[in-house]
Amino acid sequence: MPTVRIIDVTNRDGVQTARLGLAKLEKTMINKFLVDFGAYASECGFPVTEHEWNYINGNVDLVTHGEFAPMHLMGWIRAIKDDVNEAKANTQISHLNLSASTSDQMIAGKYGGKKTQDDVLNEMIIALDRAVELGFTRIGVNAEDASRTGIDFLIKYALAAKEHGAERFRYCDTLGYDSPKSIYARTYKIATEVGIPVEMHCHNDIGMAVACSLEGARANIDAGLDAFIDTTVNGIGERAGNADLISVVLALKYSAENLGEYLDPRINLSIAWKLANYASYAFKVPIPINQPGVGANAFSHASGIHADGILKDNKNYELYDFTELGRGEMEFVETGRNIIVGEYSGIAGFKHVMESLGVKFKDDAEAKYALKLSRYANVLKQKPLVKEELIFIAQHPMAVKKILTLAPL
C-alpha cells in the first residue's frame, strides 16, 4: 500500500522568509522535534553556503550516532555540477535535492535568455549523474515553478530524473498558482506516465497550499505510488508561506478525503504542540489564534449552543481531541524569582537552572563547558535559551560546539 511521507522544509524554505531567520542551534532543535514528530526528512539547509557547513555536519553527526535517526537530512542545491561537487567537498550530507527553474517565465525572466529548456534539462542530468557518482542517495529533482511549466516538458524532465537515479520528482507550485483540481490532474499524469513519486511543494499565495498538497498526494496514491508532501512548521515560508505541517497531517487524518490509512505510521501528532510553540518562539512569530490544532482558539467555545454541545460530547463540535496534539499538559510558570541562562551567566546560576531541569554533570569541568556553550548559543540567538535547548547542549556538547561554529573549521 502506498505511504504518504512528510519532508519538512522549515530549515530551508522557512528560513528564507523575509524578516525572519533561525540561529543554527534553533535549526538543530527544529530537526530534533521533527525526528520526534516522525518526519521522513528535513531539508536542513544549504551545503554550498559556507556558514551552513558546520551546522550541517554537526547534524549529520547526530544522525550517524542515532540521535536524529531514522529521519533523513537533505541539502538543497542548484541542479548544476559545481554545486554537487561543493556539497561533497565541504559537508558529510548524504541526500540532496537538485533544483532548477523549468517554466518559460522563469527561463526567460531569471536566466535572461541565456538558457533554453534543453539547457536546463541537460544541466540537471549532468548534476544528477555527478551526485550518483559521488554516492549521494535519496536524491530529489526539483522543478521550480512546475505549476506554470508545460506538462510535456515536466514529463520529459521527470523521466530524465528517474532514468538517472532520482528517488522523487518535486513538483513546486512556487507561486501557489495551482488549484486542487489542476494539481491532481497534472500530478496524476506525471506519476502514471513516468512512474516516479511526485513530491508536492505548495506555497500559500492564494490560500490553497494544504488542499493542493492533499490532492497531489491523492494523485500519487491513485497512481499506486508513495506520496511525499513538503511542509513547514506553522506554515512559515516565503511570502504567504508554505503548507503548514500540522494542518497537513490533520487534513490527512480527519478530512473527508480519508487519506489517514496511507499516512506514515511514524507520524506522532503528540509532538505538535511543542513543535509549533518552539518554532513560534524561535522565529518570533506568534501562532494565529485560529491556527488549526495549535491556535489558542482551536478548542475554544463561546457560543451557548456550541458550549452545550461540546459538554455533552466533544465530537459534536471537534473533529479531533486536543490531547492528540500534546495539548493539555500542566505548565509551570515562575511567578517569583527566576534565573535565566544568558551570555553573562555564571556557574552557580547555571547549575541551579540545570538541576531544576533534571540535568546532573559528572564534575565541575563538564558543567563549565556546558555553560560556555550556552553562553555562545545565547550570543548567536540573542534571546534566552529554553529548557529543550539547555538539555540538548548538556547532552550533545561536541555536536553543539560544531553547530555554533560559523567559520569553516
CA atoms of 114 and 110, how far apart (whole Å) = 9
Q: Give Cα 58 distance to the centre of its chain.
A: 17
Comparing CA positions, the residue from 71, 59, 56, 73 lying closest to residue 392 is: 59
What φ, ψ does residue 77 adopt, rounded to 5°? -140, 165
Helices (H), 195-283: 209-222, 245-254, 272-283
**HSE of 258, CA atoms in CB hemisphere, 13 A:** 2
Comparing CA positions, the residue from 335, 336, 373 lying closest to residue 354 is: 373
Residues of the chain with pLDDT under 50: none
Residues forming a β-bridge with 78: 99
Comparing CA positions, the residue from 206, 207, 188, 208 lying closest to residue 198 is: 188
In the prediction, which pLDDT does 151 show? Answer: 98
pTM, full prediction: 0.94
Task: Let me know: does 151 contact 187? Beta carbons within 8 Å.
Answer: no
Task: Let me know: does 51 contact 113? Beta carbons within 8 Å.
Answer: no
In the prediction, which pLDDT does 331 show? Answer: 65
In the prediction, which pLDDT does 312 show? Answer: 81
Can you spell out the DSSP letters for 154-188? HHHHHHHHHHTT-SEEEEEETTS---HHHHHHHHH
In the prediction, which pLDDT does 334 show? Answer: 63
- The three-state secondary structure class of 20 is coil
- CB neighbour list of residue 87: distance below 8 Å, 6 or more residues apart: 47, 48, 75, 77, 93, 96, 136
Tell me how far CA of residue 31 lies from CA of 34, 60, 203, 221, in angstroms: 5, 11, 21, 27
In the prediction, which pLDDT does 314 show? Answer: 82
- Tell me whether strands 72-78 and 168-173 are parallel, antiparallel or unpaired: unpaired
In the prediction, which pLDDT does 318 show? Answer: 84
In the prediction, which pLDDT does 335 show? Answer: 60
Tell me how far CA of residue 112 lies from CA of 35, 104, 108, 390, in angstroms: 41, 11, 5, 48
